[in-house]
C-alpha cells in the first residue's frame, strides 16, 4: 500500500523564497512533467535532498557571472574547485549544449567528444551501483533504449554507459559531419554532480581538470546565451596602464578593415567601404563572429538568419545583401565585392596581434 503523503504549510521569508527561486534553475524542467517546477515542488526537493552542496550551488547560480569568473581565476591559478562550483559549471555546460543558436557547427564535434570523455571520467567516480540512473544516462546518449527489465532485458550497467559514450566520442572525431551531436551529454554531467554519491572532491578535480578547456568554453557559451553578457569583468574606464597594441589595418581591393583592442581583450572592427563612402562598425565579439560566419556561409539563392545579421543572395549570385537586425540598415554587394569582403574579414581574424584576444573571447563568450 502506498504511503500517504502529508501536507505541511509554512510561512517563509522573502530571503528563503529568493533562494528557492534560484534553486528552481538547478532542477530539471520535468519535475512536474509540464514545465518549470513550482515553488512548493522546489521546496520539497530541497528538503528531501538536504545537501549542503546543492544549497551552496543555489547561492552561486544567483550570481552567475561572478561565479564563473571566480572559477576561471581558480583554473588559471591551478586551484581546486568545490563540488558546488563544479555543479554550477555543469549547469551552464548543459545550457551551452542544449540552447539553440544559428550556427549548426557549434559547439564543435571535438568539444562534444571532450564532454563525453569528461562524463566517462565523472561517471567512474560514483560510489555504488545505480541501474536506474545508468538507464537515464544511456537514454540521453542513444535514442533507442528500452526501459530496464522490459522484453527480458537486463538492467543497464555502468560499463554499457561508458562504452556508448566512448563510441560516440570516437565517431565524432572520425566522421564529425555524419555523427549526430549528443546534446544531452551536458545534462548527464549535471545530473551526476547533482544527484550521485561520488568520491571526494580531490578525486573530482583530478578527474575533470584535463577537460576544463572544453567544459569552460561550453559553459561560457551557455552563460552568454542565457545571461546575454560575457564571463568578463566590466571595462575599467579609469585604466591607465599599458594597452594591447592595435592590429595593423587589412586592405582587400577597395575595402579596408581596422581593429582596436582594449585592456580587457574586447575588440572592435571598422569596415571602410570606400566605394560607398561608408564606415561600418562591428562590435562586440558575438557581432563580429556572426558577421564572419555569414560571409562564409551565404550561398547564391540562400538566406542567412543569424543572431545579429540577416543575409540573402539572388539565385544567380550576382547580388548579396545583409542587414543588421538591430538597426535595419541594408548594404548590397556584387559577387566580386562579397568575396573581397569575406577575404578581408578572414584576414583580419587571422592577424597575429588579434589571436590572444580571440583566445580570451572563447573563454568569455564560449563557442558562439
Is the predicted pLDDT of residue 58 greater than 80, yes or no?
yes
* Residue length of the chain: 368
pLDDT, tens only, 226-254: 999 999 987 655 444 445 667 899 999 99
> Across the beta sheet with 267-273, what order do the strands follow?
250-252, 255-261, 267-273, 278-282
Q: What's the CA gap between 349 and 368, in Å, rounded?
A: 15
SS3 303: strand
What percent of the chain has pLDDT above 90?
Answer: 72
Residue with cell 544511456: 138
Is the predicted pLDDT of residue 324 greater than 70, yes or no?
yes
Q: Can you tell me the mean pLDDT for 44-67?
A: 78
CB 95 within 8 A of CB 222: yes
Q: Look over the chain and give the mean of its residue pLDDT values, rounded to a whole number.
A: 87
Provide the pLDDT confidence category of residue 5 given band limits of 50, 70 and 90: low
pLDDT, tens only, 97-133: 999 877 888 999 999 999 999 999 999 999 999 999 9
Query: What pLDDT is recorded for position 16?
Result: 58
pTM of the model: 0.83
Query: What pLDDT is recorded for position 119?
Result: 98
Domains of the chain (ranges, CATH numbers): 51-227 (no CATH), 250-364 (2.30.31)
pLDDT, tens only, 253-284: 999 999 999 888 999 999 999 999 999 999 99
pLDDT, tens only, 131-182: 999 999 999 998 654 444 444 456 678 999 999 999 999 999 999 999 999 9
What cell was used for 306? 543569424
Q: What's the CA gap between 107 and 113, in Å, rounded?
A: 10
Amino acid at each position: 500500500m502506498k504511503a500517504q503523503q502529508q501536507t505541511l504549510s509554512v510561512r517563509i521569508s522573502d530571503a528563503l523564497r529568493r533562494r528557492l527561486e534560484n534553486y528552481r534553475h538547478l532542477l530539471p524542467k520535468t519535475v512536474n512533467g509540464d514545465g518549470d517546477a513550482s515553488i512548493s515542488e522546489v521546496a520539497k526537493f530541497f528538503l528531501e535532498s538536504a545537501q549542503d552542496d546543492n544549497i551552496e550551488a543555489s547561492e552561486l547560480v544567483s550570481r552567475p557571472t561572478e561565479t564563473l569568473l571566480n572559477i576561471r581565476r581558480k583554473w588559471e591559478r591551478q586551484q581546486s574547485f568545490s563540488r558546488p562550483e563544479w555543479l554550477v559549471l555543469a549547469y551552464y555546460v548543459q545550457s551551452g549544449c542544449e540552447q539553440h543558436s544559428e550556427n549548426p557547427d557549434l559547439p564543435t564535434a571535438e568539444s562534444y567528444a571532450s564532454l563525453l570523455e569528461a562524463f566517462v571520467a565523472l561517471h567512474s567516480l560514483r560510489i555504488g551501483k545505480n541501474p536506474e540512473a545508468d538507464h537515464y544516462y544511456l537514454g540521453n546518449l542513444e535514442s533507442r533504449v528500452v526501459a530496464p527489465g522490459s522484453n527480458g532485458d537486463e538492467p543497464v550497467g555502468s560499463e554499457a554507459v561508458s562504452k556508448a559514450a566512448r563510441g560516440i566520442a570516437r565517431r565524432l572525431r572520425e566522421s564529425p559531419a555524419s555523427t549526430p551531436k549528443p546534446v544531452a551529454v551536458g545534462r548527464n554531467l549535471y545530473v551526476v554532480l547533482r544527484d550521485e554519491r561520488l568520491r571526494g572532491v580531490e578525486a573530482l578535480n583530478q578527474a575533470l581538470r584535463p577537460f576544463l578547456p572544453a567544459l569552460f568554453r561550453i559553459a561560457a557559451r551557455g552563460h552568454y546565451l542565457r545571461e546575454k553578457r560575457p564571463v568578463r569583468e566590466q571595462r575599467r574606464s579609469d585604466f591607465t596602464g599599458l594597452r594591447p597594441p592595435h592590429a595593423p589595418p587589412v586592405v582587400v581591393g577597395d575595402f579596408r578593415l581596422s581593429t582596436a583592442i582594449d585592456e580587457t581583450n574586447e575588440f572592435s572592427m571598422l569596415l571602410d567601404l570606400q566605394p560607398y563612402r561608408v564606415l561600418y562598425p562591428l562590435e562586440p565579439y558575438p557581432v563580429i563572429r556572426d558577421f564572419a560566419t555569414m560571409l562564409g556561409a551565404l550561398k547564391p539563392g540562400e538566406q542567412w538568419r543569424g543572431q545579429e545579421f540577416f543575409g540573402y543572395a539572388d539565385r544567380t549570385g550576382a547580388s548579396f545583401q545583409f542587414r543588421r537586425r538591430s538597426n535595419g540598415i541594408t548594404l548590397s554587394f556584387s559577387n566580386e565585392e562579397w568575396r573581397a569582403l569575406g577575404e578581408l574579414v578572414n584576414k583580419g581574424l587571422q592577424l597575429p596581434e588579434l589571436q590572444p584576444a580571440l583566445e580570451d573571447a572563447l573563454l568569455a563568450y564560449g563557442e558562439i
